[in-house]
Amino acid sequence: MRELFEESLGPSPLDPEEAVRQSTRTGQRKRFYTSASVRETPEGFAILLDDKPVRTPSRNLLAAPAREIAATIASEWEAQQDAINPMTMPTTRLANSVIDGVVGRVDAVVEDIAKYFETDLLFYRAGHPDALVAREAAHWDPVLFWAAETLGAHFILTEGIVHVRQPDQAIAAARAALPSDPWAVGALHVVTTLTGSALLALALMRGRLDTDEVWAAAHVNEDWNSEQWGVDEETAVRRVARLADFRAAAAVLAAQTKPFG
């Protein structure tokens, strides 16, 4: 299975959108196993196909730190039909990414997330029309107030897309709230890149917003444009695929950060 998931993951295993693009150029392989199961091992809860352990693209054992994550991965393998389609297995792809791409380089991935505090989606506001301005405020202001009150991170807002430099103190305060567990970091990275907001990702991790609220907040402008001009079919298809990756990452994040729930 290494080649199958190497191609589906693409050059950046933490980029789900790149994985979608890569998958369009990858053939699907036939299902070769009868059943998928979970077994507790010293490395965690391992995924088995016909009692044989599954390996990641880098030949590491595919094992999750929590049974519920492993059960979800096993269910993705079990749900495959005649052919195996990695794009219907978001938790498996995320697990491969974490094991091969985050473990051993957590600090680098945390720094990549922290960069979003400099240009977060929530900082850049529409100047008009008034209804859109109000909608952005309704979805985004509570997160910024929460970041200021709970994290001590006071950010600056601007109108339009001209870059505004954020206070170093605000960035440092928000960065201090990022996790260190590789699975939580990997999941948080996916949520951040899919939403364009590390603050929304933190709000999800800390339980300030639920998954539906975060997804809606991340798509305020897209939804507004769809209401005005109609839904673009290609964009809608892409959004469905991104939502699957988002929900998988959110579930892993919840499993690994229960004290914040």
pLDDT value at residue 258: 74
Domains contained in the chain, number:
2
Averaged pLDDT of the chain = 91
On whether both 146 and 230 belong to a single domain, the answer is yes
Q: For residue 14, what pLDDT is reported?
A: 58
Shared domain for 126 and 139, answered yes or no, is yes
pLDDT of 33 above 50 = yes
pLDDT band at 87 (very low <50, low <70, confident <90, very high): very high
Domain that holds residue 53: 2-102
Residues 163 and 230 reside in one and the same domain: yes
Q: Assess whether 88 and 133 both reside in one domain.
A: no
**Residue with more model confidence, 1 or 144:** 144
Q: Which of 33, 68, 102 is the last residue of a domain?
A: 102
Residue 149 and residue 90 in one domain: no
**232 and 121 housed in the same domain:** yes
Query: Residue length, the chain?
Result: 261
At residue 260, the pLDDT reads 55
State whether 237 and 120 are in the same domain: yes
Between CA 64 and CA 41 the distance in angstroms is 10
- The last residue of one of the domains, among 72, 102, 132, is 102
Tokens describing residue 215: 């997804």
Residues 113 and 216 placed together within one structural domain of the fold: yes
Q: How confident is the model at residue 2 (pLDDT cuts 50, 70, 90)?
A: very low
Q: Does pLDDT of 1 surpass 90? A: no
Alpha-carbon distance values, 166 to 106, 116, 117, 178 (Å): 24, 11, 8, 18
pLDDT in tens, 134-186: 999 999 999 999 999 999 999 999 999 899 999 999 999 999 999 999 999 99
Whether the pTM exceeds 0.75: the reply is yes
Q: Is 104 left (phi over 0), alpha (psi -120 to 50) or beta?
A: left
Give the pLDDT mean for 90-119: 97
Last residue of a domain, one of 63, 83, 102: 102
Q: Is 249 exposed, middle or buried (0-12, 13-18, 19+ CB in 10 A)?
A: buried
**Mean pLDDT calculated for residue range 84-92:** 95
* Per-residue pLDDT reduced to its tens digit, 19-28: 444 544 456 8
Say yes or no to pLDDT of 6 above 80. Answer: no
Dihedral sign from CA coordinates of 237, 239, 243, 246: positive
Q: What is the DSSP string of 228-261?
A: HH---HHHHHHHHHHHHHHHHHHHHHHHH-GGG-
pLDDT of residue 231: 84
* 207 and 134 within one domain: yes
pLDDT at 27: 64
Indicate if 11 and 123 belong to the same structural domain.
Answer: no
pLDDT of 28: 80
Q: Quick: pLDDT tens for 180-219.
A: 999 999 999 999 999 999 999 999 999 999 999 999 999 9
Is residue 97 domain-shared with residue 117, that is, in the same domain? no
CATH number reported for the structural domain that contains residue 229 in this entry:
1.10.3580.10
- pLDDT for 9 equals 40
